[in-house]
Amino acid sequence: MPTYKLTYFPVKALAEPIRFVLSYMGQEFEDYRFEREQWPSIKPSMPFGKVPVLEIDGVKLHQSTALTRYLGKKAGLGGKNDWEDLQIDIAVETLHDFRAAVGNYFYDADETSKEKKKEPLMSETVPYYLKKFDELVKENGGYLANGALSWGDLYFVAVSDYLSGMLEFDICEKYSNLKALKDKVLEIPKIKEWIKKRPETAF
Amino acid sequence: MPTYKLTYFPVKALAEPIRFVLSYMGQEFEDYRFEREQWPSIKPSMPFGKVPVLEIDGVKLHQSTALTRYLGKKAGLGGKNDWEDLQIDIAVETLHDFRAAVGNYFYDADETSKEKKKEPLMSETVPYYLKKFDELVKENGGYLANGALSWGDLYFVAVSDYLSGMLEFDICEKYSNLKALKDKVLEIPKIKEWIKKRPETAF
């Protein structure tokens, strides 16, 4: 059995999809969370200086989406064929576009520029994406793609707290299909077990 | 035979990887390029309001990476197994991190904030990524992953002009392994043929 060690800041954010999939698989893993002040000493040993990093049998692998896709396929959460994989990939990449738009506001170090971005983000971009995602889930029988649970759904639900945290409101609350998807994923026994035992963090 | 229609601005940028892979496959496609002033009338008919969009037999599909991966697999440019696919995905996702960092500067509408980003981008971020990518290609026998040509290499070479355009210098020039990879991809007969016939554009 391979060993898994996940290294990240003490938050959910981009590591949580990997934690969700490993938990879904029933796979034990070391959930190493370092403090912010440790980051400068850890950063140089990480490929391309970023985390999350998952070590599989000591091999350091980075990139949250690539890892969730890889593990998701092992967990039986991939598409049934290349076309279905494409639909999952499209949904997740679009989620990243949305996250990038939110992050572009949230992480703006310049207060004036940040303030300027807030109104169009909140009144246009955010409702646009959430409505479209809600429709997508409705069209796909309650999932992001192919009418079936995939690693894309786990990705979405796992990062939804991060998105809600940056936006300061629950992104699923007003969108019944997104809300139902989130509830459904959180009710999966292995995910439920993970949620119960994971450390409490804001994001 | 399915029909392919690609819709994008009259530039290379994020559509070029799709054009590269379709050309590599020897696949005919309609390369529809609209003018900037047409965009407001086209945008509402695009899934999630973005391009490039590839229509396969009339089905509108978006997301450049998802599409390049899908077509790349059909073209025999995927990994030999899930592990190899993971390595390609990691490289391409990291390329997007790099592109996001460059775009965060280039597309900043606030001149003061943009100017502030320039120095750290040019003196730290850009050389950091380019050196790492150059090492990655060296370690992988002249390719981004697995010691073999993949859709990831086509993606990289296809967007390199876009990155160079935003940065106002040739990103491969000082990095011998990246330069060699670029030259090698551009020498593939079907790619060479595409380059020869494609419209001249700055990005």
> Token pair for residue B73?
């697999």
- Rg over CA atoms, chain B: 17
Q: Give A-chain residues touching B82 at CB under 8 angstroms.
A: 70, 73-74
pLDDT of residue B203: 87
Q: Please report how many Cα atoms fall inside a 13 Å half-sphere around the Cα of residue B8, on the Cβ side.
A: 24
What's the rounded Cα separation, in Å, for the pair A19 and A194?
8
Mutation target among A70, A99, A132 for the B interface, most CBs of B within 10 A = A70
What's the rounded Cα separation, in Å, for the pair A29 and B40?
48
Q: What share of chain A has pLDDT > 90, as a percent?
A: 95
Q: Which residues of chain B have pLDDT under 70?
A: none
A155-168 residue pLDDT tens: 999 999 999 999 99
pLDDT of residue A197: 97
Averaged pLDDT score across all residues of chain A: 97
Q: Is B125 helix (H, G, I), strand (E, B) or coil?
A: helix
A52-65 residue pLDDT tens: 999 999 999 999 99
Q: Give A-chain residues touching B132 at CB under 8 angstroms.
A: 47-48
Q: Does A86 touch chain B (CB under 8 A)?
A: yes
Q: Give B-chain residues touching A47 at CB under 8 angstroms.
A: 132
pTM: 0.98
pLDDT of residue A110: 84
H helices of B25-173, where? 39-42, 64-74, 82-106, 111-120, 126-139, 151-167
Is this prediction's ipTM beyond 0.85?
A: yes
Kind and range of the H or E run holding A59: strand A59-62
Q: Give A-chain residues touching B129 at CB under 8 angstroms.
A: 48
pLDDT of residue B110: 84
Tokens 């949580």 sit on residue? A16
Give the Å distances, CA to CA, from B158 to B87, B165, B179. 19, 12, 13
CA distance B90 to chain A (A): 6
Bridge partners, A4 (sequence order)? A56
Q: What share of chain A has pLDDT > 70, as a percent?
A: 100
> Token pair for residue B87?
């390595």
pLDDT of residue B112: 87
pLDDT of residue A22: 98
CB contact under 8 A, B70 and A89: yes
Q: Does A60 touch chain B (CB under 8 A)?
A: no
Count A/B contacts: CB-CB distance under 8 Å. 74
Bridge partners, B4 (sequence order)? B56
A93-144 residue pLDDT tens: 999 999 999 999 999 888 888 999 999 999 999 999 999 999 999 999 999 9
What's the rounded Cα separation, in Å, for the pair B68 and A89?
11
> Token pair for residue A14?
């981009």
CA distance B197 to chain A (A): 29
CB contact under 8 A, B67 and A74: no
CA quadruple B184, B187, B190, B195: dihedral sign: positive
H helices of A48-110, where? 64-74, 82-106
CB contact under 8 A, B89 and A65: yes
**Crossing angle for the helix pair A176-186 and A126-139, to the nearest 10 degrees:** 70
pLDDT of residue A1: 82
CB contact under 8 A, A69 and B48: no
Q: Give A-chain residues touching B116 at CB under 8 angstroms.
A: 110
CA distance A72 to chain B (A): 11
CA quadruple A53, B136, B98, B174: dihedral sign: positive
Q: Does A43 touch chain B (CB under 8 A)?
A: no
Closest partner CB to A66 (pick from B47, B89, B128): B89
Averaged pLDDT score across all residues of chain B: 97
Q: Does B85 touch chain A (CB under 8 A)?
A: yes
Could you tell me the end-to-end alpha-carbon distance of chain A, in angstroms, rounded to an integer? Answer: 31
CA distance A16 to chain B (A): 18
Tokens 């992050």 sit on residue? A103
